[in-house]
Amino acid sequence: MSATEPLVSVTDLHVTFPGPVHAVRGVSFTIAPGECVAIVGESGSGKSVTARSLVGLAGDTATVRHAGLTVAGRDTTGYTDRDWRRLRGRLAALVLQDALVSLDPLNTVGREIGEALRTHRVGTAAERPARIGALLESVTVPADRAGAYPHELSGGLRQRALIASAIAADPPLLIADEPTTALDVTVQAQLLRLLARRRAEGRALLLVSHDLAVVAGIADRVVVMREGIVVEQGPTERVLSAPEHEYTQLLLAAVPDAASRGRRLSSPGREPLPPRPEPGEEVLSASGVHRRFGARHAVDDVSFALRRGETLGIVGESGSGKTTLARIALGLLEPSAGRVRLGGEDWSGIPERRRRPRRRRLQVVSQDPLSSFDPRYTVEEIVGEPLLERGRARRDRVVELLERVGLGAEYLRRRPRALSGGQRQRVAIARAVGPRPDVLVCDEPVSALDVSIQAQVLDLLAELQAADGTALLFISHDLGVVHHLADRVLVMKDGRVVEEGPVETVFSDPSHEYTRQLLAALPSLDLSGAGARGRA
């Protein structure tokens, strides 16, 4: 590596936005040809801005300063917009998280790729269709999907089509900003394999991610950023096995897995969580629940029982029916067939009037807390709404609840828009535990959060459960999270339960093929058995 000239060399990069917000302060790193480097950090760490600066897309209002910025062997000092445009796509390509936004909705993906080919003058017009097909095949998209519009493709196909258009001119550097964040695990694994293959072909990769586990399997080196500064960088094995900086240790501890069960994720030492009482009587059960939407079976013959103080994990990818099941459990949707019981009494098939007085026994924490807050409400009104107390007593209780979730009385007057994602989810949890529910339904409560914030929220849920003995119905697409938190697990696919049992059994000895696939796709920090790396 030392013998070859680096492909990318960044020296003392600073990016400032009006405010002034010093987003990137003195970042330096290099990427050798054919190397995969990952920048890891949470939102606001400056990782995306750093990556975008490499292709001159830091933003209109950004001021970029550096002591040297070489991209694909070109010194970019004094580059104009025109120079950057020429560099982009041909020498370095950028792929963003959301392909639905990045792709032109009025263009088929084939035309999109054709346009990239034409812009970079790759091949003749006559051979373009063949090239488009070959490019799509190279990212494992069937060539006959070239005529499809972005909205007609699934998230995974769309993301791969976007990559195909980015690599149309075969640039030596591909920058991918959170390329898999919106995707299911199995699709994510496919995409990571694809990126690994590109690296094996000698093309350099710069990955940007908040999740160390995702990049662990593919990156040669990791750059850990926090608040605009590189806190640590080095070979992946070294950073993962012997992290030097406290923040890296924190990030590593935050990744939930089998070993983290019963322990805190939000501290580097992973101290044990308070012990939980033994599961008590049955509080919520479903037997033979079906739900049809037209001809489609969203939920097909699902049964489960949840006992006091217990956590039942429901795992599945998008479209598996897990959210429909949650809505049925919450009594927001009637099952087409089957029965739900809450505390031994009928919960489905009864008039809403009879359900209403018991509704507070079942509370919900959803993926997107902001949309679950009335936009006119302050934190005090949000948390106070489900409470029975009035006046002074209510305010005291709201403060007590906010303190339980690690926020204080100073948040009472705040509006949810002025809160960070993690704080919003804490407010949502404070509201949900306010009525002292028997069951807390958590529908992807941490999917939208950074790993370190996710760790704090998961710790909070575990603490509250230990203290109150609440039963948790925990729905997630993330097997790591479920493995960390749940006692028992239900694996769902196409509305059916394909496997269920205690977490230890299901995760160590899965009996269904689909569960095995999900587990194999799970990104892991354990490098010993990492097949995706494809090292020669």
Partner 1 sequence: MDISLPVPTTVGVRAGWRLPSLVAPVAFLVLVAVAVVAPALLTGTDPLAADPMSALRAPSAEHWFGTDQLGRDVFTRVVYGARYSLSIGLAATVLSVVAGGLVGLIAGLSPRVVDELLSRALDVLSAFPEVLLALLFIAFTQPGTPSLILAIALAFAPRYGRIVRAQTLLVRRAGYVEQATTFGLSRARLAWRHIVPNVLGPLPILATIGLGVAIVNAASLSFLGMGPQPPSPEWGAMLSESRNYLRVAWWSAILPGLALTITVVSLTAVGRRLQARFEGRR
Q: Which residues bind partner 1 (CB under 8 A)?
A: 17, 21, 23, 43-44, 46, 48-49, 52, 58-62, 227, 330, 332, 352, 355-360, 362-364, 366, 368, 371-376, 385-386, 420, 435
Least Å distance between CB 441 and partner 1?
9
Query: What is residue 349's three-state secondary structure?
Result: coil
Instruction: Specify which residues 173 forms β-bridges with.
Output: 92, 204
Distance between CA atoms of residues 264 and 39, nearest Å: 25
80 or 371: CB nearest partner 1 = 371
Q: Are 346 and 331 in contact (CB under 8 A)?
A: no
Rg value, the chain, Cα: 25
Which residues are CB-contacts of 78 (< 8 A; sequence separation ≥ 6)? none
Least Å distance between CB 206 and partner 1?
17
Q: Are 360 and 407 in contact (CB under 8 A)?
A: no
Least Å distance between CB 360 and partner 1?
5
48 or 70: CB nearest partner 1 = 48
65 or 356: CB nearest partner 1 = 356
170 or 468: CB nearest partner 1 = 468
62 or 520: CB nearest partner 1 = 62
Q: Are 38 and 209 in contact (CB under 8 A)?
A: yes
276 or 355: CB nearest partner 1 = 355
Query: What is residue 288's three-state secondary structure?
Result: strand
DSSP annotation of 332 reads S
Least Å distance between CB 534 and partner 1?
33
158 or 431: CB nearest partner 1 = 431
Angle at 314 between CA 309 and CA 320, to 5 degrees: 160
The string over 355-367, giving b where at least 16 C-beta atoms fall within 10 Å of a residue's C-beta and e elsewhere, is beeebebbbbbbb
Least Å distance between CB 8 and partner 1?
20
Least Å distance between CB 386 and partner 1?
4
Query: Could you give phi then psi for residue 128, rounded to 5 degrees?
Result: -60, -50
Least Å distance between CB 289 and partner 1?
19
23 or 32: CB nearest partner 1 = 23
Least Å distance between CB 370 and partner 1?
8
Contacts 24+ apart (CB under 8 A), 340-346: 340/284, 340/285, 340/286, 340/289, 341/284, 341/285, 341/286, 341/287, 342/283, 342/284, 342/438, 342/439, 343/283, 343/284, 343/438, 344/282
The string over 406-417, giving b where at least 16 C-beta atoms fall within 10 Å of a residue's C-beta and e elsewhere, is bbeeebbebebe
Least Å distance between CB 369 and partner 1?
9
Judge if the upstream peptide bond of residue 171 is cis by omega within 30 degrees of 0: no
437 or 523: CB nearest partner 1 = 437
Distance between CA atoms of residues 299 and 322, nearest Å: 8
Query: Do strands 471-476 and 311-315 pair parallel, antiparallel, or not at all (unpaired)?
Result: parallel
**Secondary element (H or E) of residue 492:** strand 488-493
422 or 523: CB nearest partner 1 = 422
Distance between CA atoms of residues 239 and 248, nearest Å: 8
48 or 515: CB nearest partner 1 = 48
128 or 359: CB nearest partner 1 = 359
The string over 293-320, giving b where at least 16 C-beta atoms fall within 10 Å of a residue's C-beta and e elsewhere, is eeeebbbbebebebbbbbbbbbbbbebb
65 or 516: CB nearest partner 1 = 65
Least Å distance between CB 388 and partner 1?
10
Least Å distance between CB 390 and partner 1?
15
Least Å distance between CB 440 and partner 1?
11
Query: Do strands 92-95 and 74-75 pair parallel, antiparallel, or not at all (unpaired)?
Result: unpaired
Least Å distance between CB 497 and partner 1?
24
The residue type at 429: I
Query: Do strands 229-235 and 221-226 pair parallel, antiparallel, or not at all (unpaired)?
Result: antiparallel
Least Å distance between CB 372 and partner 1?
4
DSSP annotation of 359 reads G
The string over 250-273, giving b where at least 16 C-beta atoms fall within 10 Å of a residue's C-beta and e elsewhere, is bbbbbbbbeebbebbbbebebeeb
59 or 349: CB nearest partner 1 = 59
Q: Are 29 and 55 in contact (CB under 8 A)?
A: no
